[in-house]
């Protein structure tokens, strides 16, 4: 399994956009939604997203770490 990279919140958003997720609103977190998914992704708008947070976002999106890593 590839190691999770250190990414900013905006970089994480760009990767999820490749998988069809769209930005819905942007208060303190960037919220992303996707048609056909009942869950949404709340990505912190920080310079570095914690690895545990990133791993959970990947799992909620229904992706593997390898799929996410390949899309970077």
Tens-digit pLDDT profile for residues 12-70: 999 999 999 999 988 788 999 999 989 999 999 999 999 999 999 999 999 999 999 99
For the chain, the three-class secondary structure string (H helix, E strand, C coil) is CCCCCCCCHHHHHHHHHHCCCEEEECCCEEEEECCCCCCCEEEECCCCCCHHHHHHHHHHCCCCHHHHHHHC
The model carries a pTM of 0.91
**Per-residue pLDDT, 1:** 63
Could you confirm whether domain 9-71 is CATH 3.40.50.620?
A: no
Domain ranges of the chain: 9-71
């Amino acid at each position: 399994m590839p190691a999770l990279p250190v990414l900013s919140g905006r970089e994480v958003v760009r990767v999820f956009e490749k998988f069809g997720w769209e930005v819905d609103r942007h208060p303190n977190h960037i919220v992303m939604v996707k048609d056909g998914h009942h869950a949404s992704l709340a990505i912190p708008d920080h310079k570095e997203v914690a690895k545990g947070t990133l791993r959970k976002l990947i799992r909620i999106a229904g992706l593997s770490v390898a799929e996410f890593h390949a899309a970077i």
